[in-house]
Chains A and B, each alone.
Chain A
Amino acid sequence: MPVDVLTQRDPDSLADREGAGRGRAARRRRPVMAWIGFVLVIVPVLASVFAPWLATHDPNQVNLARRLQPPSAEHWFGTDEVGRDLFSRVLDGGRRSIGAGVSVVLLAASAGIVLGGISGWVGGKLDLVLMRVMDIILAFPALVLAMALAAALGPGLMSSVLAVAFVRVPVYVRLVRAQVLSLREREYVTAAVAAGAPTWYILWRHLIPNSLPPVVVQATLDAGNAMLLTATMSFLGLGVRAPAAEWGAMVNSGRVYLLDQWWYPTFPGAAILMTAMGFNLIGDYWRDRLDPRHAATARGQSRTKQ
């Protein structure tokens, strides 16, 4: 929108004065939110990675004599209905919950890069067909399609990760395709074509690396969302198999005890909220940094395309 840009650069315009003020405020404030996000993510990630060393108990050790104990010096988050230590299970569960979210994003983004790259570069009928297929996948509410897929694949963490990844693929295909469509007009790409570089080389060397930044941002924003979706599937009984610890599944098995044993579902649920919020804060910040138009969104001047 060239006209808009001109208006906003006009030093006399009301919009510009306000915009600049907000810009400064945004720059001052946003990194703080991103740092908070970073802490919210890194703490559970490190805790999960080092779970075997940090855990105070064996996460699967049943001890019926100590069932449903409130938080104490011995059991920091209390114990569950068969006396397993909840602190250790939350740490151990993070490996599956965060791991599932990250795997979903990696799978969906990889598939999106390959399909979007090919679709954008080759164009024509292939592009048309691929994009219509993506429209169809997007026509389902995400959770509903993921549920149907996971049910068909058979319950288990693997099938719920695959199902959620499948649902998220179109987002990345569209993103990468749009990038490739604009990049293919660049001079260095034309030069590479003129020099006789093979297609795979151009895709691999020029188009894909240059379309990565928005993919990384989308992936960060998505990681929280993917984690929520996989946890929701576990909550509905489509995720991990007992006795493996996973946050969504723990909330599910703890929900009947909430009235008297509040700690049981509270800690794993809070862990999900904390991690997802962290991913969202980081993703928001990166998006603003990367795309000045979205920075405008952060300052409120959305450029949402119709």
Chain B
Amino acid sequence: MGLGQVIARRLALMVLVLLGVTLLTFLISHAIPGDPARLLAGQRASDEVVAQIRRNYGLDQPLYVQYIRYMSGLLRGDLGRSIRTGRPVGEDLARFFPATLELVGTAMFLAVLIGVPLGVASAARNNSWVDHLSRSVSVAGVSMPLFWLGIVALALFYGRLGWLPGSGRLSPFAIAPPTVTGLYLIDAALAGDWATWRDAAVHLILPASCLAFVHVGIVARQVRGSLLEVLHQDYIRTAHAYGVPPRRVLYRYALRNALVPALTVVGLALGDLLAGAVVTETVFAWPGMGSYVVDSITSLDFPAIMGFTVVVSVGYSVINLMVDLITLRLDPRIRAMG
């Protein structure tokens, strides 16, 4: 099968999965809570008001008609109107998205920055202290309640030591840099405002490190596993037999092939990071999509909850498709398997 066909098949599957994602979200929001009209109207509303809302929102139509209407709205970027803020959910999410992106991006960067060298060291020196450290980090990471880690880190570094700020993206009364991307680090750098840049960076350290901690172990474990596998292959033995310096074998011959499977794990980890952002943002009062959805849950704001669910899941699926395609590009063997 050619590369084009493989990509076409993945894309077709992707469309199917995305349709399923919207259908499932739609069913959750329209079928399960019993009566969305009652929810919209509030508990004390009279029956006439509820019936009026039901007509207005088309909730008296058959379910499949409602789904088609929901989908046609979705395709136009209409995610419905938030009950809590009274604004379109799409606008709300777009406003909070850069903060989440900055947090998740930094966490991902940290996880890779620490996880990859840790995995390499762990594989290169199997059963050494580095190896034990890396495995301990990985067990601790997958067992750690992120919300608790955040609180403890907050108490220690903000409360006890006072080294780092405890909440938000900037100090109180600080003025956000002029919006270009919405990412404060980039915007402040573009504006040449290094005081604000430092302020934003300092605010990022604690939440991003907590979020990254869980994933350092996962990345390290995967890099270690795939590197060790590669190190046992014939071409590595041949390279050693030819007298290629061990360092060169490790970095030039082995690592390059080992990083391809690791990439898939990094892609999957992005989904966890997005979910982890919900928790981290809540703990650190980070004004992103996660805080927004938690506030929406508290006030049972269904359009907002479902809008968030669809956006995050679609984003997650697209990222994974891209990772798949990059992996295909990098590793011709997978292409052959189709």
A residues neighboring B (CB under 8 Å): 4, 7-8, 13-15, 18-19, 22, 25, 132-133, 135-137, 139-145, 147-149, 151-154, 224-225, 228, 231-232, 235-238, 248, 251-252, 255, 258-259, 262, 265-266, 269-270, 272-273, 276-277, 279-281, 284, 297, 299-304, 306
Look across to chain A and name the residue whose beta carbon is closest to the beta carbon of B261.
A304
Are A300 and B147 in contact, with the CB atoms below 8 A?
Answer: no
A147 with B305, Cβ < 8 A, contacts A141-B313, A280-B142 known = yes
A272: chain B residues within 8 A (beta carbon): 145, 148
In the complex, B215 has a CB within 8 A of chain A: no
User: With A143-B278, A232-B279, A297-B225 in contact, do A306 and B337 touch (Cβ < 8 Å)?
Assistant: yes
Is B228 in contact with A259, judged by CB distance below 8 angstroms? no
What are 17 A-B interface contacts by the 8 Å CB criterion?
A14-B240, A19-B232, A136-B24, A139-B18, A141-B272, A141-B316, A144-B309, A148-B305, A153-B32, A255-B151, A265-B152, A266-B152, A270-B148, A280-B139, A300-B126, A304-B225, A304-B226
A281 neighbours in B (Cβ, 8 Å): 139
Residues of B within 8 A of A13 (CB): 237
Number of A-B contacts (CB under 8 A): 191
**Set A135, A251, A306: member contacting B327, Cβ < 8 A:** A306
Inter-chain CA distance A50–B143, complex, in Å, is 24
Closest-CB distance, A169 to chain B (whole angstroms): 13
| Contact B16–A143 (Cβ < 8 Å) | no
Q: Which 6 pairs between the two chains have the least Cβ-Cβ distance?
A: A302-B225, A300-B228, A136-B20, A269-B148, A143-B275, A277-B143
Q: Is B274 an interface residue (CB 8 A)?
A: yes
Least Cβ–Cβ distance between A156 and chain B, in angstroms: 13
Q: How far is the CA of A304 from the CA of B265 in the complex (A)?
A: 11
Q: Which residues of A contact B261 (CB under 8 A)?
A: 302, 304, 306
Q: Are A251 and B148 closer than 8 Å at their CB atoms?
A: yes
Nearest chain A residue, comparing its CB with the CB of B237 = A14
With A269-B152, A304-B261 as known contacts, state yes or no: A139 contacts B240, CB within 8 Å.
Answer: no
B32 x A301 contact (CB < 8 A): no
> What residues of B have a CB within 8 angstroms of the CB of A154 in the complex?
33
Give the chain A neighbours of B222 by CB distance below 8 A.
Answer: 302, 304
Q: How many residues of B contact A (CB 8 A)?
A: 71
Contact B127 A144 (CB under 8 A): no
CB-defined contacts of A225 to chain B, threshold 8 Å: 142
> Is there contact, CB below 8 Å, between A140 and B313?
yes
A15's partner among B29, B232, B300 (CB-CB below 8 A) is B232
Query: Considering the chains assembled together, what is the distance between the CA atoms of A8 and B237 in angstroms?
Result: 12
Instruction: Point out the residues of chain A lying under 8 angstroms from B68, CB to CB.
Output: none
Smallest distance from the beta carbon of A67 to chain B beta carbons, Å?
Answer: 19
Which of B33, B232, B276 makes the CB contact (< 8 A) with A301? B232
State which residues 295-326 of B face A: CB under 8 Å. Answer: 297-298, 300, 302, 305-306, 308-309, 312-313, 316-317
- Is there an interface contact between A139 and B316, defined as CB atoms closer than 8 Å? yes
**Which of A136, A224, A304 is close to B143, meaning CB atoms less than 8 Å apart?**
A224
B334 interfacial by beta-carbon distance below 8 Å: yes
Known contacts A148-B28, A151-B305; decide if A139 and B145 are in contact (CB<8 Å): no
Q: Is B130 an interface residue (CB 8 A)?
A: no
Cβ-neighbour of A135 out of B17, B272, B305, B309 (below 8 A):
B17
Q: Say yes or no: is B154 at the interface (Cβ < 8 Å to chain A).
A: yes
Tell me the B35-94 residues at the A interface (CB within 8 Å): none
Q: Given A238-B297, A251-B147, does the pair A302, B32 have CB atoms closer than 8 Å?
A: no
1/0 contact string of B282-299 vs chain A (CB within 8 Å): 110000000001100110
B278 touches A151 (CB 8 A): no
15 other contacts beyond A136-B24, A139-B18, A148-B25, with CB at 8 A cut-off? A15-B232, A139-B20, A139-B21, A140-B21, A141-B272, A143-B275, A145-B309, A151-B300, A151-B302, A151-B305, A258-B152, A269-B152, A279-B143, A300-B123, A306-B337
Q: How distant is B311 from chain A, measured CB to nearest CB, in Å?
A: 10
In the complex, whether B168 has a CB less than 8 A from a CB of chain A is no
Q: Does B11 contact A (CB under 8 A)?
A: no
Instruction: Enumerate chain B residues within 8 angstroms of A18, measured Cβ to Cβ.
Output: 126, 232
Residues of A within 8 A of B244 (CB): none
Report the separation of the CA atoms of residues A270 and B145 in the bound assembly, to the nearest whole angstrom: 9
Interface residue? B113 (CB, 8 A): no
In the complex, chain A residues whose CB is within 8 Å of the CB of B308: 144
How far apart sit A135 and B21, CA to CA, in the bound complex (Å)? 10
The answer to whether A136 and B17 have CB atoms under 8 Å apart is yes
In this assembly, does B117 line the interface, its C-beta being within 8 Å of a C-beta of chain A?
A: no
CB-CB contacts of B130-149 with A at 8 A, as 1s and 0s? 00000000011011111110
Contact partners of A7 in chain B: CB under 8 A: 232, 234
